[in-house]
Amino acid sequence: MTRGVASKILIVDDASFMRSVLKDIIKNNGLASEIFEAGDGIEAVKTFLKIKPDLVTMDVNMPKADGIQALRAILKIDPTAKVIMISSVEEKHIVQDAIKLGARDYVVKPFDRSNVPLVINKVIRQK
């Protein structure tokens, strides 16, 4: 399998624990050269503007602005932005909406640690 490498990945999650878990998965699989973090939807949009990441992982339930609001804003800024939604099982319907809005894929919590790199890889390689 050819492996895509994103130079910058932005992880958005309000729990620093979840950000660390994701960060380790991304690091251990060599998926990014730089990893950035944001703890809520507003910070996510701000950070997106600042660093223009190649890929964003987006939690749904967050303070200030939720993942869907942040997704909308990010896609308005850059319609080609690659955003992967991170959700728990029962948020599936929300995620389906997110996909319609333009999210590229989704990962379900708790993570299957081998699945996350596959999804990220797939999305990085998309045009």
Partner 1 sequence: MSENNYREMYLTEALEHVDIMNQALLKLEEQPDVKDHLDLIFRSAHTIKGMAATMGYEQTTDLCKNIENIFDAIRNKKQKLSSNLASALFKCIDVLQQMINDENKKIDLESYLSILKNPNKSQQIENDESMQPTQLPTIRVKMSDLDSLVNLVGELIISKMKLENTLRNEDSIKSKTALVDLGRLVSDLQYQSLKLRLIPIDTIFKRSERIVRDTANKLGKIVNLQIDGAKLELDRTILDAISEPLLHILRNCVDHGIESPSERKTLKKSESGNIKLSAYHVGEQIAIKIEDDGKGIDLEKVKAKAVENGILTQQEANEISDEKTIELLGTPGLSTAKTITDISGRGVGMDVVINKVQDIGGHVQITTETGKGTTMILLLPLSVSIIGGLLVNISNEKFVLPLSSITTTLKINNNEIKSLHGIEVIEYQDKIVPIVRVSDILEIKQDQYIVPGKVTIVIVDKGGKPYGLVVDSFERKQEIVIKKFSNASDSENAFHNATILPDGKVALILDPSMLI
Which residue number, 61 or 69, has a Cβ lying nearer to partner 1? 61
Q: Which stretch binds partner 1 (CB under 8 A): 1-9, 44-52, 68-76, 104-112?
A: 104-112
The H or E element spanning position 102 is none
Indicate if the alpha-carbon torsion angle 36, 66, 42, 80 is positive or negative.
positive
CB of 46 or CB of 109, closer to partner 1: 109
CA distance 60 to 82: 16
- Name which of 20 and 126 has its Cβ closer to partner 1: 20
Q: Considering the rule CB under 8 A, would residue 20 count as an interface residue with partner 1?
A: yes
CA dist 124 to 5, 14, 23, 89, 90, Å?
Answer: 7, 23, 16, 24, 26
Handedness of CA 19, 81, 43, 91 (dihedral sign): negative
Q: Which of 7, 24, 51, 76 binds partner 1 (CB under 8 A)?
A: 24
Q: Which of 2, 79, 93, 110 binds partner 1 (CB under 8 A)?
A: 110
- d(C-alpha 48, C-alpha 73), whole Å: 10
| Residue 63 near partner 1 by CB under 8 A | yes
Count of positions on this chain that bind partner 1 (CB under 8 A) = 16
Question: Where do contacts with partner 1 occur on this chain (CB under 8 A)?
Answer: 14-18, 20-21, 24, 61-63, 88, 90, 109-111
